[in-house]
Amino acid sequence: MGNEDGTRAIVTLTMNPALDITCDADVVRPTDKIRCSATRYDPGGGGINVARVARVLGAGARAVFLAGGPTGELVTALVRDAGVPLRRVEIAGSTRESFTVNERSTGEQFRFVLEGPTVTPAEQSRCLQALCAAADAAQFVVASGSLPPGVPPDWYQRVADLCADVGARLILDTSGGGLTHVKSGVFLLKPSLRELRECVGQELKTESSQVEAAQDLILRGVAQSVLVSLGADGALLVTASDSLRFAAIQVTAGSGVGAGDAMVAAITVGLTRGWSMAKSVRYGIAAGAAMVLTPGTATCNRTDVERFFEQTPADLSA
């Protein structure tokens, strides 16, 4: 199924997708057998999650991702079942799994994330070729998630260069070396506060220091704008000359898995509609809140997103 206007303005890239397995258990204890129930399987990885949510919100999004082995076959089938157009890049290694256990007795959540398969230089080259073909007519490329073993830390800089060549704007949501090795070409960078701290090597205990760190990245040409996600404290949008703080939407506690990806998806959808960055961020915050209401990494409900969006004032600054 396509989107409402028939275009595919968004292309997402997932270098290290996963089969997301979510289940419930009464109690999680060491050495005991943990009897699990209510098991669900979802295709995971940042870019895949973004594409799934974008489709729910009525936007066209094509997912480019690496996949291999039986797990990769299942992830591919689940992406297709979600109605998301895809371009799969075949790899020899088997796609990883991600395992989440919700402990009913405490409400705690335990997440186990595997490293992922080693990706060869030849497979990396095919991935760039696939991305170039998919992004040729796209408005935005969303690169989201970690880098698997074998992929060099400057990978997302290569993606930024490719986006510049094809005229697409890059939205980047990553961490670690994949973030610190990006030097230029990002339209919107979305680190968490922890990721921003790791990127700049500072504590960033105050909002003014967070703004200063983000503006330093902008002045160095890394990104045009930086959106720092602050979890329960909302988000901080920073440009070269200004900053705007957004309050979080309070919802009943649930699974936070995929909330950040939903936020990125809705922001990107808003931008494809010609909305301002601030209005798009408001939409993103609404989608992140709606995602908390869903089990595991199931996509959020569009009705919930629109309801939260309508309930938030145009000026969400705290």
Q: What angle is formed at CA 312 by the lines to CA 308 and CA 315, rounded to 5 degrees?
A: 150
Reported as a single tens digit per residue, the pLDDT across 263-287 is 999 999 999 999 999 999 999 999 9
DSSP element (H, E) containing 97: strand 96-103
pLDDT score of 250:
86
pLDDT score of 4:
40
Q: Tokens 């004032």 correspond to what residue?
A: 313
Reported as a single tens digit per residue, the pLDDT across 64-123 is 999 999 999 999 999 999 999 999 999 999 999 999 999 999 989 899 999 999 999 999
The two structure tokens encoding residue 75: 């992830």
- Report the 10 Å Cβ neighbour count for 78: 18
Strand pairing report for 36-44 and 61-67: unpaired
The two structure tokens encoding residue 78: 């689940």
Q: Is 173 a catalytic residue?
A: no
Reported as a single tens digit per residue, the pLDDT across 195-230 is 999 999 999 999 999 999 999 999 999 999 999 999
**Residue 63 pLDDT greater than 60, yes or no:** yes
Quote the percentage of the chain above a pLDDT of 70.
Answer: 94
- Report the 10 Å Cβ neighbour count for 307: 13
Tally of CA atoms within 13 A in the half-sphere of 267 that contains its CB: 29
pLDDT score of 315:
54
Per the prediction, the chain carries an average pLDDT of 92
How far apart are the C-alpha atoms of 4 and 36, rounded to whole Å?
39
At 3, the pLDDT band (50, 70, 90 cuts) reads very low
At 232, the pLDDT band (50, 70, 90 cuts) reads confident
What is the three-class DSSP state of 106? coil
Q: Which residues pair with 143 in a beta bridge?
A: 13, 172
DSSP element (H, E) containing 158: helix 155-166
**Domain 10-15+46-94+120-311 CATH superfamily:** Ribokinase (3.40.1190.20)
Contact 190, 266 (CB under 8 A): no
pLDDT score of 312:
77
Q: Report CA torsion sign: 293, 295, 299, 302.
A: negative
At 255, the pLDDT band (50, 70, 90 cuts) reads low
The two structure tokens encoding residue 160: 């930024």
How far apart are the C-alpha atoms of 65 and 250, rounded to whole Å?
33
At 43, the pLDDT band (50, 70, 90 cuts) reads very high
9-29 average pLDDT score: 96
Q: Which of 7-11, 121-125, 253-257 has the lowest mean pLDDT?
A: 253-257
Tally of CA atoms within 13 A in the half-sphere of 21 that contains its CB: 12
**Residue 5 pLDDT greater than 90, yes or no:** no
Q: Tokens 């997932």 correspond to what residue?
A: 14
Q: Which of 24, 261, 304, 315 is catalytic?
A: 261
Q: Which of 26-40, 193-207, 211-225, 288-302 has the lowest mean pLDDT?
A: 288-302
pLDDT score of 177:
85
Q: Which of 58-62, 166-170, 254-258, 293-297 has the lowest mean pLDDT?
A: 254-258
Q: At what angle do helices 121-135 and 155-166 cross, to 10 degrees?
A: 30
